Structures are given as structure tokens and as C-alpha cells.
Amino acid sequence: MKKKKPEKEPNSERWLLTYSDLVTLLMAFFIVMYASSSVNQTKFNQVAQALKQGFNSGQGKSIIGNQDALDIKDKPVYIDAQSAQQKNDKLEQNTLDSVKKLIDNYIKQNNLQGSVGTQIEERGLVISFQEASFFDSGKSDIKPEFANRIVTIGSMLNTIDNYVRVEGNTDNVPIKNSQYTDNLALSCDRAANVERLLEGQSHVSALRLSATGYGENRPVADNNTDAGRARNRRVDIVVIDSKYSATESNNGK
């Protein structure tokens, strides 16, 4: 009677081959993904060559294929921050120009050229109200007959959402009367009264408004002449350029 041949034990190490193939394919996948994400042609070519050598050494076709098809151009994508800022600046300039034209038309139609002026500066749109038309000398109350001019111009500022700062200014002639002992106090009160008018009657949001006085410290003309001193006695409404919005909001009221 023939003896039965002992059954072959199953190969318990076959799983290692499957595992090895899986690890190899995963490694190849991640290498390809890494190389594809880089726009450096030299690095990509090095990875491609290494894969060709590893997978094309025996039978079958290379998973890389024709190297000519891997013509990845070195074209990194840049976000041009400077160009974006220039576009924003241009848009802001156009916005302020539009408001300026609106106010200039009102000034012309109402013959206010000697009382109100506008100009675009680095800080924004500046609207200047001369003392002679809007205030009595040495006083901070706005003349009733001219208050409506400020209200109308202030209403035009509601077409935009920029911050608005009211600045009081005087000439360098010392002041001393029953109400004020210096020009700084006078300039502050004039600015505050204009701000109240903008908020209360022009309905400009209080969150956008601030007021300050500089006294004689920010002249725009020569204080040695009558004409120069007259120009320096003014209240400016400054529509702040939006690029300075963060600074203006931190200043508070």
C-alpha cells in the first residue's frame, strides 16, 4: 500500500508579495503627485527617469510612457499684489473724482467759488469752507444763512462709505475774547459744530465721522499777507482715502 504524500503546506509568505507591490505602487503614485505639483522641470525629469528605470527594467511597458509627452512648462502662477493694489487705487481715485465733480457742479451752480473749494490730495478729497462766509470772526457758530450749504454738500457724501474727518484751522493772529483764549480752542469748536451738522442734518453716519482742530499749525498760505491769512481761516471736510481706513477707524472720535 502506497503511502500518501504529505500535503504541501500553504505558502504563508505570499502576502508579502502583494504587500510589496502595493507599497511600490503607492510610492510611485506619491512621487508622481509630488513631481506634478512642482513646476521645476529639472526635478520632474529626474523623478521621471528614476521611475522609468524602476518600472521598465523587465517586461511590460513603462508607466511613464513617451518622455516627449511630459512637456511640463516652467510657468509658475503669481498673484501680483502690486498690480491688484494699483487697480484698487485707481478705483478709489475714480470714486473720489466722481464725488468731487458732484460738489464742484453744486459750487458753480450756486456761485460759491470764493467760499468753498475742493481738491484731491494723497489723504483723500478735501472740501474747504472759508471762515468769511461761514463764521463770524472769533466765533464758532455757523452762520444760519450758510449752514444749508454745508448740509447739502454733506449729503453728497452719503453716496460713498469713506471715513470723514472735519478739521478746523485758523491764521496765526492771536485771539483773546470772552469765549476763547487761543486759536486751537476756536478751531476745535468750529470743527465740532460742522461735524454735528453733518451728523444731524446731512445724516452722515456718526461711525464715519470725527472732528479735530489744528489752530494755526497747518497753514495752506502765507500768514504774512491778508489774502494768505484769509485762506488759512477755514474748516476742511476730508473724505479719507480708503487705503487709510484702518488708521482712521483706530483713531476713533
Q: What is the pLDDT of residues 2-52, one digit of tens each?
A: 555 555 555 556 655 666 777 777 777 777 666 556 545 666 566 667 656
Beta carbons within 8 Å of 121's beta carbon, 6+ residues apart: none
Give yes or no for residue 193 having a pLDDT over 60. Answer: yes
The answer to whether 213 touches 189, Cβ cutoff 8 Å, is: yes
Residue 63 pLDDT: 44
- The rounded distance, in Å, linking the Cα atoms of 199 and 193 is 10
- The rounded distance, in Å, linking the Cα atoms of 43 and 245 is 46
- Write out the three cell numbers for 44: 520632474
* Helix ranges restricted to H, the chain: 14-37, 41-55, 81-109, 131-134, 144-156, 183-200, 226-232, 245-251
Q: What is the pLDDT of residues 113-122, one digit of tens each?
A: 999 999 999 9
The answer to whether 233 touches 129, Cβ cutoff 8 Å, is: no
Domains of the chain: 14-67 (no CATH), 81-251 (3.30.1330.60)
Higher pLDDT: 245 or 11? It is: 245
- pTM exceeding 0.85: no
Q: Given pLDDT bands bounded at 50, 70 and 90, which one contains residue 247?
A: confident
Instruction: Say which range, 89-98, 138-147, 211-220, 238-247, has the weakest mean pLDDT.
Output: 89-98
- Write out the three cell numbers for 245: 481706513
